[in-house]
């Protein structure tokens, strides 16, 4: 029998098969190098379930911890990468990230440490604080009605944490649209992703500290009645009762359904009821307003895109292999 020709249709078929094989082999992973979903499968198989159980416990006590854990992931990953540095305490010679102006009122640190203590008892020196934080943010989001997503693990903990670095990298709540776009672009995120991740404000609460610039002296006239004109007037009156001028410590919910992850945030923004300047500014740009309007509607892709954004954020500046360390307690380096 004659051998098959290496030319014509057969050659084309071989080329297609080889190309398909190559595409499979070189498919890019959504995770940073060194991370995997089964990282603790042998070394601490119960790690994810323990984090999940603790998150359930914390949310039963205070459902608003969902917002706190989301904020922790963002405020950790945005500053030097997802290395748990936001959890570190200050020392006599160093002000840690948690002392930064932009981290005012940060919650959830003690709760992450409580989870760590249990895991350290069961699997000493294995599970990083950075990974616990990432898992807690995912679990908490899903438990209050939001999306879930696969979490790759294997991050190690950083040993450096400074307030100045946090204030330099994190977006302050007074940024306008172009300022937010620039801040997110510096981390590799587009404008749409910025608007998507802003949707985390659908859960959580805030001290008045970040809200006052929206209510008083908005344009710098040193006038208590100088409120953002884009804000709903009745809503502004409501906020001023909760946040009197000069009061930085009162707390308020940052969404009308603050204990449920939903699309209400975007509806509120469209109605002039954004809590922060960074919320209301999303609709000052035509592209931004279009995305906000889309996400405010049922069956939009908000949940799917938010999950993808959190996965992408979780890849920022990770330490793996022999980099960093596995802290014994999350608030102190070893």
Q: Judge whether 262 is annotated as a binding position.
A: yes
Q: Is 222 flagged in the annotation as binding?
A: no
Tell me which of 75, 101, 121, 207 is the catalytic residue.
Answer: 75
* Nearest-angstrom CA–CA distance, 248 and 267: 26
CA–chain centroid gap for 318, Å, is 15
The answer on whether 202 is annotated among ligand-binding residues is: yes
76 among annotated binding-site residues:
yes
Q: Is 79 annotated as a binding-site member?
A: yes
Establish whether 85 is an annotated binding residue: yes
Q: 65-77 and 47-61 helices cross at what angle (nearest 10)?
A: 130
162 is in an annotated binding site: no
Taking alpha carbons only, the member of 189, 176, 162 closest to residue 102 is: 162
Dist. CA 204–CA 138, nearest whole Å? 14
Angle between helices 109-122 and 129-143 (to 10 degrees): 120
Is residue 207 among the annotated active site residues? no
- Annotated binding residue 255: yes
Does residue 9 have a known ligand-binding role? no
Calculated CA dihedral for residues 146, 148, 151, 157, nearest 10 degrees: 20
97 close to 88: Cβ distance less than 8 angstroms: yes
Is 83 annotated among the ligand-binding residues?
yes
What value does the CA radius of gyration of the chain take, rounded to a whole number of Å?
23
Binding site annotation covers 36? no
Binding site as annotated, residues = 76, 79, 81, 83, 85, 97, 171, 201-202, 255, 257, 262
- Which positions make up the binding site for heme b? 201
Annotation: binding site for Ca(2+): 76, 79, 81, 83, 85, 97, 202, 255, 257, 262
Mind telling me the catalytic residues?
75
């Amino acid at each position: 029998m004659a051998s098959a020709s290496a030319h014509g249709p057969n050659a084309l078929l071989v080329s297609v098969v080889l190309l398909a094989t190559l595409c499979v082999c070189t498919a890019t992973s959504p995770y940073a190098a060194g991370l995997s979903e089964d990282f603790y499968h042998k070394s601490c198989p119960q790690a994810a379930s323990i984090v999940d159980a603790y998150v359930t416990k914390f949310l039963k006590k205070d459902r608003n911890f969902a917002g706190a854990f989301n904020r922790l992931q963002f405020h950790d990953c945005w500053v030097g990468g997802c290395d748990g540095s936001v959890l570190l305490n200050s020392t006599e010679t160093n002000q840690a990230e948690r002392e930064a102006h932009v981290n005012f009122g940060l919650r959830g640190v003690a709760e992450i440490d409580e989870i760590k203590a249990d895991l350290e008892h069961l699997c000493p020196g294995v599970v990083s604080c950075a990974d616990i934080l990432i898992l807690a943010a995912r679990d908490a989001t899903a438990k209050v009605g939001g999306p879930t997503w696969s979490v790759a693990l294997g991050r190690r903990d950083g040993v450096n944490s400074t307030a100045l670095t946090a204030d330099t990298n994190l977006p302050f709540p007074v940024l306008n649209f172009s300022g937010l776009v620039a801040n997110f672009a510096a981390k590799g995120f587009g404008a749409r992703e910025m608007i998507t991740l802003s949707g985390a404000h659908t859960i959580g609460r805030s001290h008045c500290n970040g809200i006052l610039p929206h209510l008083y002296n908005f344009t710098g006239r040193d006038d208590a009645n100088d409120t953002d004109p884009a804000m709903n007037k009745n809503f502004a009156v409501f906020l001023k009762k909760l946040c009197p001028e000069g009061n930085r410590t009162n707390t308020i919910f940052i969404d009308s359904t603050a204990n449920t992850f939903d699309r209400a945030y975007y509806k509120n923004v469209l109605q002039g009821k954004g809590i922060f300047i960074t919320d209301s500014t999303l609709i000052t740009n035509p592209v931004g307003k279009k995305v906000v309007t889309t996400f405010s509607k049922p069956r939009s892709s908000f949940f799917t895109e938010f999950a993808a954004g959190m996965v992408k954020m979780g890849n920022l500046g990770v330490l793996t292999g022999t980099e960093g360390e596995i802290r014994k307690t999350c608030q102190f380096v070893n």
